[in-house]
Chains A and B, each alone.
Chain A
Amino acid sequence: MFVRKKSINPASYRASSDLVPLVLAGSRAAIARMISRAEGEYDEAAGALAQLYRHAGRAHVVGITGVPGGGKSTLISALIRACSTGDNKVAIVAVDPSSPYSGGAILGDRIRMSDSAEASQAFVRSMATRGHLGGLARATFQAVDILDAAGYSPIFIETVGVGQDEVEIMTAAHTVVVLSPPGLGDDIQAIKAGVMEIADIHAVSKSDRPEAAATATAIRGMLALGSETQRSSWAPPVLTLSAPSGAGIDALKQAIDSHLLHLMESGEMVTRRRAIARTRILATINHLIRRRFDDGAETMATQLAAVTERTSDPSTAAEWLLGLNRADLA
C-alpha cells in the first residue's frame, strides 16, 4: 500500500499590495486570497487590508443569527436568489465553529447555498471561528471589508449556531435578522435577555410546522411589552417563512430593505457605523495586547508562576504587565 505522488512545484507568493487593484476590480481569486491572509494574520497583508478598508463602506451588511439547525443557511440560499436582482452582487460570509481540541473545522454551510450561489454568481466564503467567541471569527470583519471594497452588496454574515448570548453580530451588521425555529421553548424563552433582544427583524423558520404560529405569537408578545432601553424608533417585524418553498422570503427581503431605508432616513446609520468602528478598534487593541503576552514573553512566565503560587494575584499581575500602577489607576 502506498500513496502515488507527483513531484510538486513550489508556488510563487504574490505580494498583497499587488492584490489590492485586483480586489477592487472584482477578481474572485484575489478576494479569496486576501480573506485567507486576513484570517492567517499575515503581517505582510496589513497594509493592503488597511487600504481596502478605506475603499469599503458602501455595502449593506446583514447578519443572520439563530440556533444551530434553525435554517440559517437554507434561508440565505433563498435570500441569495431574492437579492440577486439588477446590478447587485451578493456575498455571504458563513461562520462555523473550530474544534477546541484540534483547531480543525467542518465548514458545512456552503452545501446548502451552492446551487443558488452558482446561479446568481454570488460569492460564498466559509470561515472557522479559530477560537473567537461571540458567534463570528476575528477575520469576519475584514472579510466584509474586502467584499465591500470589491463592490458586493448586500453582504450576509451567517453566524455560528448561537446559544443565548452570542450577540457580537450586532456590532458587525447594519441589520440583524434573528431566526427562530418553531417549537423550541415557551414565552419565557422569548423574554430572556440576549440574542432575542438584538433583532431588527424576527423571522420564524419552518412555517409549515404547526408550532410556527405560536412561536411568532410569543415573540410578538415579547415585543409588545416594549423596552426601556429601546435603541431605535424602528419596530422589529415578526415574519414567518419557509425557505425551501419560498413562502415569506419576499416579505423578509422587503423588511431588510425597509430597515436599510429607515437607518438612512433616521440618521441611525451614522450611529451604527460609529458603534461598529468603536467595537473594532477596541477588539483590535484587545487582540494586539493579548498577542504580545501570548508570545511567551519571559515577564508573562514570571507573573504566571507568581499568580499560580498565590504570591501575586491576577489583577496585580495584569496591571504590572501593562506597566500600570495603582496610583495611576485611582
Chain B
Amino acid sequence: MTLGRDEDKMAGPEPQPTPSIRVLVAKLGLDGHDRGAKVVARILRDAGMEVIYSGLYKTPAQVVDAAIQEDVDVIGVSLLSGSHVPLFGALCKSLRDQQADHVLVVAGGVIPEHDYDALIESGVDAIIPQEAGSELIITAIRDLVAARGRI
C-alpha cells in the first residue's frame, strides 16, 4: 500500500469534490439596517456555505478588496437605502477594474422592478426580490456558481 500522493491525479483540473461556496454578505453605503443581511447569512450557513459578513457602511472599493482577499464566489449585497443603482454600478466597475469580475454579484433588499434592467446592465448577475424564501436564495446562488464553474 502506498500512502503517497496519487501521481496521476495531479495531472490537471479533473473533477474534485465540490468545494464549499464562499459568500461575502455586504452592506454598502449609508444603510444601517442589517437584520435582513444577518438572516440571509444564517440561511446560507445552514445551506453549507461559508459566509463572511462585511459589517456596515462599506464602500464598493472596501467590499471588492475583501472579496479578493477572501476569494469568495459570490458577493451578496442587501440594500434598503434606495441608492442601489449608483452603488451597484460602482461595485461592478470596481470588480472589473481589479480583474475580479469572476466574482458573482447578487442583489437583494428593497429594489423596485423598474430598476432591474439598469442593475443587470451595470453588471449585477442576479436580483432576488424581497419576498423570496430561503430555498429561492440558496438555489439562485448555487445555480450561478455552477454556471460559472471552478476558478
Size of the B side of the interface (Cβ < 8 Å), in residues, is: 62
Q: State whether the Cβ of A128 lies closer than 8 Å to any Cβ in chain B.
A: yes
Q: State whether the Cβ of A46 lies closer than 8 Å to any Cβ in chain B.
A: yes
Number of A-B contacts (CB under 8 A): 155
Give the docked Cα–Cα distance between A3 and B113 (Å). Answer: 11
Q: Interface stretch among A174-182, A236-244, A285-293?
A: A285-293
B126 touches A4 (CB 8 A): yes
Q: Interface stretch among A107-115, A193-201, A246-254, A273-281?
A: A107-115
Give chain B residues whose Cβ lies under 8 Å from the Cβ of A105.
Answer: 45, 50-51
Question: How far is the CB of B115 from the nearest CB of chain A, in Å?
Answer: 10
Q: How would residues 83 to 118 of chain A score, 1 for a CB under 8 Å from any chain B CB and 0 otherwise? A: 000000000000000110111111110110010001
Chain B interface residues toward A at CB < 8 A: 1, 3-6, 9-14, 16-17, 19-20, 22, 41-42, 44-55, 58, 62, 65-66, 68-71, 98-100, 102, 104, 116, 120, 124-129, 131-132, 136, 140, 143-144, 147-151
Give the docked Cα–Cα distance between A29 and B67 (Å). Answer: 9
Question: How far is the CB of B73 from the nearest CB of chain A, in Å?
Answer: 9
Known A110-B52, A125-B70: A118·B100 in contact at CB below 8 Å: no
Give the docked Cα–Cα distance between A36 and B13 (Å). Answer: 14
Size of the A side of the interface (Cβ < 8 Å), in residues, is: 54
Known A44-B13, A104-B48, A106-B53: A3·B126 in contact at CB below 8 Å: yes
Q: State whether the Cβ of A185 lies closer than 8 Å to any Cβ in chain B.
A: no
Give the docked Cα–Cα distance between A102 and B134 (Å). Answer: 15
Give chain A residues whose Cβ lies under 8 Å from the Cβ of B124.
Answer: 6
